[in-house]
Amino acid sequence: MKANVHPKYGEVEFTCSCGNVIKTRSTMKSAHIEICNQCHAFYTGKQKLVDSAGRVDRFRKRYAKAEKNSGKSS
């Protein structure tokens, strides 16, 4: 192996916006991350579910009216 080719790989700390500190190894010196497993909604269980059924019903109603109107003009 050639000497001085690879970057230095050492222990680093990643700091989240929520204050959680994650210790790992990387070629980076340190980093600030916006979201981690301690504050992400998927992992905390505070996930919001979107009511897509209401959106689908509104879509169908809108295009049902359009089909009725296009049928009358023929």
1 within domain boundaries = no
pLDDT band at 74 (very low <50, low <70, confident <90, very high): very low
Rounded-to-integer distance, Cα 72 and Cα 62, Å: 16
Rounded-to-integer distance, Cα 13 and Cα 27, Å: 11
21 within domain boundaries = yes
* Token pair for 35: 């979201």
* Token pair for 57: 């019903």
- Structural domain range at position 63: 10-72
What's the structural domain count of the chain? 1
CATH of the domain at 46: 4.10.80.400
Per the listing, tokens 């505070």 go with 46
3 within domain boundaries = no
Reported as a single tens digit per residue, the pLDDT across 57-73 is 888 888 888 877 876 65
Task: Give the pTM.
Answer: 0.47
First to last CA, the chain: 79
Three-state DSSP at 32 gives strand
Reported as a single tens digit per residue, the pLDDT across 29-49 is 888 888 887 787 776 777 666
Three-state DSSP at 1 gives coil
